Amino acid sequence: MTDSIAGYAKEASSLLVTYERIPPDTLHRPVWHLIPTIPSRVLDIGAGSGRDAAHFAAMGHQVLAVEPVDALREGAMKLHPSPRIEWLADTLPSLERVRARGETFDAVLATAVWMHLDERERADAMPAVASLVASGGVLILSLRHGPIPPGRRMFDVSAEETIALAAREGLACLVNAVTGSVQAKQPDVTWTRLGFRK
């Protein structure tokens, strides 16, 4: 997924500011009710600025925040120092370092990352991600639709394909909602918010 993250590395300093402006409960409103309310284990894949990880930590969760872009991960660690957040460099589709730990999580989030994977990578990634969801746990994904920003590698991924891949791994779709972009500068961008339970 190296090509996918190149643009993010170049823009890391501005993205750290942009991402922090969006409240997690606003961004994730369609799936927010799936987030555990009691202290749990949360995996944040593509944690970016650490905004969501910090919010989950403040809720009492233990968070493993996975971010492959060094500049984003290092900036996020400075923005959100917390004993409840552990940071790890790893990438989809395999998430080898995460899976090597032998852990499962009550909630797994892959926010704004799935569309960076091509069709084969998505087919490989779903079993890896699903293996990290504890029995009874949830997986939350978001899919971006619209013009591709310069310097980014993205694919227009359908909800139907994603739901079918998840179903093969024992994940039942609970939420399939389309929303507009929370960034005012992107009126031609929409998002599909998906929530699954294992």
**CATH code for the part of the protein at 2-197:** 3.40.50.150
Q: Where are the domains of the chain?
A: 2-197
Q: What is the pLDDT of residues 4-42, one digit of tens each?
A: 555 555 654 565 456 556 777 877 899 999 999 999 999
Which residues, at least 6 apart from 162, have a Cβ–Cβ distance to it below 8 Å? 114, 122, 141, 143, 192, 194
Q: How do strand 172-180 and strand 85-88 relate by DSSP bridges?
A: unpaired
Asked if pLDDT for residue 44 goes beyond 90, the answer is yes
How does pLDDT run across 76-120, given as a tens digit for each residue? 899 899 999 999 999 999 999 999 999 999 999 999 899 999 999
